[in-house]
Amino acid sequence: QLQASGGGVVQSGASLRLSCVARGFIFDDYAVGWYRQASGEEREGVSFIRKSDGATDYADSVKGRFTISVDKAKHMVFLQMNNLKPEDTAVYYCALDYRNTVNPRIFHTSRMRYWGEGTQVTVSS
């Protein structure tokens, strides 16, 4: 089970931190990440982390503004989002995949296997 939280309504330039707790998984064996889906748009990959060595990948649109991290002890993954823009408005989903040795970049096109419920992020201009 994956449960995301931390979404909200903020103004452009603000920050939010999304959290996701993973229950029922052997956390160290999985890659984790975040996707988002704006209204009327396809779901897109935002950021991923390969916990075996901490390798990360980010969508070009969020590089330099978003940071993914994990707390292995708590089985949690976070997405720190700074300098938010209206185009970041979307439902954000955390996800998990057993492919923990591949280049995390692949998850942009090869979706992760396990998904949680989304959390809404709305950024007003």
What digits encode the pLDDT tens for the residues 76-94? 999 999 999 999 999 999 9
Which pLDDT value is given to residue 51?
Answer: 81
What are the structure tokens assigned to 37, written together?
């889906």
SS3 assignment, position 10: strand
Q: Determine the pLDDT at residue 60.
A: 97
Query: Can you tell me the mean pLDDT for 106-121?
Result: 94
pLDDT at 29 over 90: no
Q: Say how far apart CA 100 and CA 125 lie, in whole Å.
A: 38
**Number of helices (H), then strands (E), in the chain:** 0, 11
C-alpha 65/C-alpha 114 separation (Å) is 25
Dump pLDDT digits (tens) for 34-61: 999 999 999 999 999 998 888 999 999 9
| Main-chain dihedrals φ then ψ at residue 15, nearest 5 degrees | -125, 150
Give the whole-angstrom CA distance, residue 91 versus residue 102: 26
How much is the average pLDDT of 16-21? Answer: 97
